[in-house]
Copies of this chain bind each other. A is one copy, B any other.
Amino acid sequence: MARWEPDARGRLMLAALALYTERGYEQTTVADIAQRAGVTERTFFRHFTDKREVLFDGSATLQSTVVAAIADAPSDALPLDVIGAAMERAAVSMQDRRDFARQRAAIIAATPSLHERELLKLATLSTAAATALQTRGVPPVPAALAAELGVAVFKVAFEQWISDSPDFPTCIRAALAELSALHRA
């Protein structure tokens, strides 16, 4: 038998999600999370730089998905179409975890400090998307704007997805249509 149970990281993420839901983020200490996961506080901080980060493990993967989708788009595609397709790809990759997304969103909405971290992750995603667009030859300013638009669409569509509608990619397409309508009006 191994000296430690495997996957301390995964256990910490599950414990944190459960405790943040049960008693709230501020009312949960890192010691509580570590205890439920069967490790020490020290181990928590080796896996996650701070108490918030334990809820944001998937953001690096999401970013890779978006950046790859931008790179993969046909070379003659317009920036806005590239971004739209990338966001749709991101939505597809999250589609099978709606319950998790919902639970996580509820915790974040209830906690300003977590909302801040979420916004930082989205801003990082936006910067990465802008860089990926620049690699395709889009100049910096349009690239930055298109990336910000993509994230705006993602945010709005995400809200729709977890509240109303079961299909995330469809929400993305609807939000993109609303965006075009704003400009055509």
SS class, residues of chain A in contact with chain B: helix
Identical copies in the complex:
2
Q: Indicate the size class of the contact surface on chain A.
A: 20 to 34
A179 to B142, alpha carbons, bound, how many Å?
A: 7
Nearest-Cβ distance from residue A84 to partner chain B, whole angstroms: 11
Contacts of A141 in B (CB 8 A): 156, 160, 175, 178
Contacts of A149 in B (CB 8 A): 149, 152, 182
Q: Give the B-binding residues of A (Cβ under 8 A).
A: 78-80, 112, 115-117, 119-120, 123, 141-142, 144-146, 148-149, 152-153, 155-156, 159-160, 175, 178-183, 185
**Given A116-B117, A119-B120, A149-B152, 8 more pairs with CB closer than 8 A:** A119-B123, A141-B156, A141-B175, A141-B178, A142-B178, A142-B181, A144-B156, A148-B155
26 intermolecular pairs with C-beta atoms under 8 Å apart: A78-B185, A79-B182, A80-B185, A112-B120, A115-B120, A115-B123, A116-B117, A116-B119, A119-B119, A119-B123, A141-B156, A141-B160, A141-B178, A142-B182, A144-B159, A145-B153, A145-B156, A145-B175, A145-B178, A145-B182, A148-B148, A148-B152, A148-B156, A149-B152, A152-B152, A180-B183
